[in-house]
Amino acid sequence: MTRKKGARLMLDALFKPKSVAVIGASNRKLTIGYRIIQNLIDSEFQGPVFPVHPKAAFIKNLPAYPTVKDVPYDVDLAHIVVKNTLVPSVVEQCGEKGVKVVIINTAGFKEIGGDGIDLEKKTLKIAKKYGVRVFGPNCQGIINSDPEVRAYCNFTFTPLEAGRVSLFAQSGGVGEVINNRLFELGAGLRMYASNGNAADIDVCDILEYWAEDPGTKVIVVHVESLSDPKRFLDVASRVSRLKPVLGMKSGRTELGARAVSSHTGGMMKQDTTTELIFRKAGIVSLSNEEEICQAAVALGSQPAAKGNRIGIVTNTGGPGIIVTDEIIEAGCTMPDLEHERQILLKEKLYPEAIVSNPIDVLATATPEHYRMAVEALLEDPNIDIAVVNFITPFFVDTEGVAREIVDLASKAAKPVLPVVMTNKSGWKKTLAIFAEAGIPVFDLPETGGRVAGVFAQHAALALKKEEKPFSPTGIDTESAQSLIESAESDAYLKQADAFSLLKMYGIPVTEYAQARSPEEAAEKASGIGFPVVLKVESSDVVHKSDEGGVILDLKDHKAVTDSAKSIQKIFPGASLFVQSMVEPGTEIIAGAFRDDPAGHVIMFGLGGILVEVIKDVSFRLAPLTPSEADSMIAEIKAAPVLDGIRGQRPKDRDAVREIILRLSSLLSDFPQIAEMDLNPIIVYEKDRGAVVVDARIRIGNQLKE
């Protein structure tokens, strides 16, 4: 059997168990052992349930057994709800019985540290011996709403309702909140998993399983930390090609919010890396539970979008503007319809109707008007997503309008997102038309706009996946290798070495040389050509210029010797770094730090001292694709500076992009690079290039907080 097939069969025993034993079942209502039995009964689990209890003959009306080994039938899945210290022996019994998977609800393992860690190891070892797979410990369990299974192997309260969204939540609390919200939205759930300590079966196993589950149309993942980010990236990238994956990470901070120094590593704390992993894996990252639920339900019932161009139909102006604000903030566009289509609509709609985007069909619009307007959006090649605002007037056949929207939405190849603003008890029948057709509606225009933004993000991520990675020409990996290997570990490279390394990867740097004495500096300066810049060579100094370690624009021999002397006065015995003085231009910063085990995080922003205050920086995980480099540049607020503001000529964006991509190649080839900071890179006008004037590169261990 292949490993993959084996893994799937193993998860079949978890998600589609033919029988379930509950070890630690109880007749006392306020216990987990009671609740799991009750939930299996309430959800009409399609297989037998075997309560295990040392003394009781029955748990509820089900015959109970003293140990799992006494159950006279095969047991696929066993819930373990006994005291933590008893778990190893119970797992042993499960092994002897031939149980395939155990859900260990019991807490008191790795999460408590000390003895708990040993207990978890011991339990796993026993499970391995018998080939029993472990879900948990310290977890809730699973739910599968497949009508042929109906396994509610969990102790939570949300009723089982079949849907198309499968939900993984590291935190059981968050999982239950999302599950409950999906239920309230009338959407239900396909499968659910909350695996607590994840000692064995992990999020990746589950994602792979759901990727192959035809009933799962959308996957929602909530994580707090990723134990194996590389594997997650790999698995999630594959899964997100097959179906939309929405991710939520709690404990996040806004990127760049903690920028405290020009030290790249200090610009971002570890917990934001998960979002970068999401993005790279093609997971749409969302920040709140409501949005994730609304988006998941819509993605589950509507086709994916091909782009970010939104068309809006509305029968009242204000809500149309609210949708507009939301989608523009989400980076979408709102093109007008093709001219002929506008003319046609002008003829068919009320004369006062507006046929540009948003199309305002007016409050008295008839079902036919709605049909024509929505159809126009669906047929127009400039539009990828249709948002249909509908406020229900007394004087309109609202059920007729609903039927037209539903008819189009059910057949469309583009997503149709209806926002129905109404009095829910007064317009029950109208709403029921949507519900019966499985077309989700939003109560508020901002929700519709946000969800449209999620469809657009998903489209962008899907497009990006087709992209080939960047492969640089003219790099000298061998020389770079020997430079890095001979570098002192856990120390900054000398500036000359840092510049050499960048040069080997085709990153433009100024002319440079190192010198020990003022005389040597002057000699090297003549070789480079005046004017030059003189800098102190010291790995202890983060901001050389703040401490008098940078002297610019030295025009002759004497200026260099004098300046060298003054630098050596401030830094006795220090070596010197001589550089050609380059023309002023726009200063940018690019940097990176290694965030093990996820890899290198690359940063980009406008340079200068303001970067520390404004925190206007963007981050991505290496290696970068060309479009990732583009979006890093476009994402910062100051990006228009590169286009040239107030009459300035545009800057050489291509040169910036090339530097970022080459930087990414350098990092991918050399995981030994712990951090680097190119600050500033001076960028010139279009076609005139960019050049690095200051570089700090550290080889060695990960940056420590």
Q: By C-beta, is 533 or 621 nearer to ligand ADP?
A: 533
What distance in Å separates the CA atoms of residue 55 and residue 74, rounded to the nearest whole number?
Answer: 21
Interface with Mg ion includes 264 (CB under 5 A)?
no
Task: Tell which residue, 145, 163, 155, 158, has the closest CA to residue 80.
Answer: 155
Binding-site size for ligand ADP (CB under 6 A) equals: 17
401 makes contact, choosing from ligand ADP, Mg ion, none, with CB < 5 to 8 Å by partner type, with none
Q: By C-beta, is 404 or 587 nearer to ligand ADP?
A: 587
Q: What count of residues does the chain have?
A: 705
Q: By C-beta, is 128 or 543 nearer to Mg ion?
A: 543
- The backbone torsions φ and ψ at residue 546, rounded to the nearest 5 degrees and listed phi first, read -65, -25
What distance in Å separates the CA atoms of residue 57 and residue 46, rounded to the nearest whole number?
Answer: 23
Q: Tell me whether the omega of the peptide bond preceding residue 303 falls within 30 degrees of 0, making it cis.
A: no
- Can you spell out the DSSP letters for 234-279? HHHHHHHHHS-EEEEESS---TTTT--SS-GGGGS-GGGHHHHHHH
Interface with ligand ADP includes 404 (CB under 6 A)?
no
234 makes contact, choosing from ligand ADP, Mg ion, none, with CB < 5 to 8 Å by partner type, with none
The DSSP symbol for 486 reads T
For residues 494 to 533, the per-residue mask of contacts with ligand ADP, x marking binding by CB under 6 A and - elsewhere, is ----------------x----------------------x
Interface with ligand ADP includes 698 (CB under 6 A)?
no
Q: By C-beta, is 220 or 660 nearer to Mg ion?
A: 660
Structure tokens at 333: 């566009």
The DSSP symbol for 226 reads -
Task: Tell which residue, 598, 571, 600, 584, has the closest CA to residue 660.
Answer: 600
Q: Cβ of residue 415: shortest distance to ligand ADP, in angstroms?
A: 48
Only one of the segments 376-384, 445-453, 463-471, 545-553 lies at the binding site for ligand ADP (rule: CB under 6 A); that segment is 545-553
Taken in order 453, 454, 457, 462, the sign of the CA dihedral is negative
* Residue 386 bridge partners (DSSP): 311, 416
Interface with ligand ADP includes 692 (CB under 6 A)?
no
582 makes contact, choosing from ligand ADP, Mg ion, none, with CB < 5 to 8 Å by partner type, with ligand ADP
Q: Cβ of residue 642: shortest distance to ligand ADP, in angstroms?
A: 17
Interface with Mg ion includes 537 (CB under 5 A)?
no
Work out whether strand 359-360 and strand 310-314 pair parallel, antiparallel, or are unpaired.
Answer: parallel
Work out whether strand 310-314 and strand 245-249 pair parallel, antiparallel, or are unpaired.
Answer: unpaired
Q: Cβ of residue 679: shortest distance to Mg ion, in angstroms?
A: 4
Interface with ligand ADP includes 543 (CB under 6 A)?
yes
Binding-site size for Mg ion (CB under 5 A) equals: 2
Q: Cβ of residue 660: shortest distance to ligand ADP, in angstroms?
A: 18
Query: How many CA atoms lie within 13 Å of 522's alpha carbon, on the beta-carbon side?
Result: 13
Interface with ligand ADP includes 568 (CB under 6 A)?
no
Q: By C-beta, is 97 or 535 nearer to ligand ADP?
A: 535
Segment (H or E) for 90: helix 87-97
- Would you report the helix, strand and coil content of the chain in percent, each value rounded to 5? 40, 20, 40
Q: By C-beta, is 355 or 590 nearer to Mg ion?
A: 590
Segment (H or E) for 655: helix 653-669
Interface with ligand ADP includes 535 (CB under 6 A)?
yes
Task: Tell which residue, 531, 493, 492, has the closest CA to residue 511.
Answer: 531
When binding is defined by CB under 6 A, the residue of 133, 371, 544, 657 that contacts ligand ADP is 544
629 makes contact, choosing from ligand ADP, Mg ion, none, with CB < 5 to 8 Å by partner type, with none
Q: By C-beta, is 419 or 636 nearer to ligand ADP?
A: 636
When binding is defined by CB under 6 A, the residue of 304, 412, 582, 639 that contacts ligand ADP is 582
600-618 per-residue burial string, b: 16 or more CB within 10 A, e: under 16 = bbbbbbbbbeebbebbbbb
Point out the residue whose Cβ comes nearest to Mg ion: 694
Structure tokens at 681: 């890179």
Q: Cβ of residue 545: shortest distance to Mg ion, in angstroms?
A: 7
* Torsion angle in degrees (nearest 10) through CA of 452, 453, 455, 460: 150
* Three-class HEC string of 188-199: CECEEEECCCCC
Q: Cβ of residue 586: shortest distance to ligand ADP, in angstroms?
A: 11
535 makes contact, choosing from Mg ion, ligand ADP, none, with CB < 5 to 8 Å by partner type, with ligand ADP
Structure tokens at 670: 């050399």
488 makes contact, choosing from ligand ADP, Mg ion, none, with CB < 5 to 8 Å by partner type, with none
Interface with Mg ion includes 563 (CB under 5 A)?
no
* Ranges within 674-703 binding Mg ion (CB under 5 A): 679, 694
Q: Cβ of residue 676: shortest distance to Mg ion, in angstroms?
A: 12
Q: Cβ of residue 681: shortest distance to Mg ion, in angstroms?
A: 10
Interface with ligand ADP includes 693 (CB under 6 A)?
yes
Count Cβ atoms within 10 A of the Cβ of residue 214 and give its class: 0-12 exposed, 13-18 middle, 19 or more buried.
exposed
When binding is defined by CB under 6 A, the residue of 680, 690, 697, 699 that contacts ligand ADP is 680
Q: By C-beta, is 14 or 681 nearer to ligand ADP?
A: 681
Structure tokens at 142: 């699973």
CB 446 within 8 A of CB 322: yes
CB 649 within 8 A of CB 293: no
When binding is defined by CB under 6 A, the residue of 158, 324, 447, 579 that contacts ligand ADP is 579
Can you tell me whether residue 228 is helix, strand or coil? coil
Only one of the segments 1-9, 31-39, 544-552, 621-629 lies at the binding site for ligand ADP (rule: CB under 6 A); that segment is 544-552
Contact residues: ligand ADP, CB under 6 A: 510, 533, 535, 543-546, 550, 552, 579, 581-582, 587, 679-680, 693-694
Contact residues: Mg ion, CB under 5 A: 679, 694
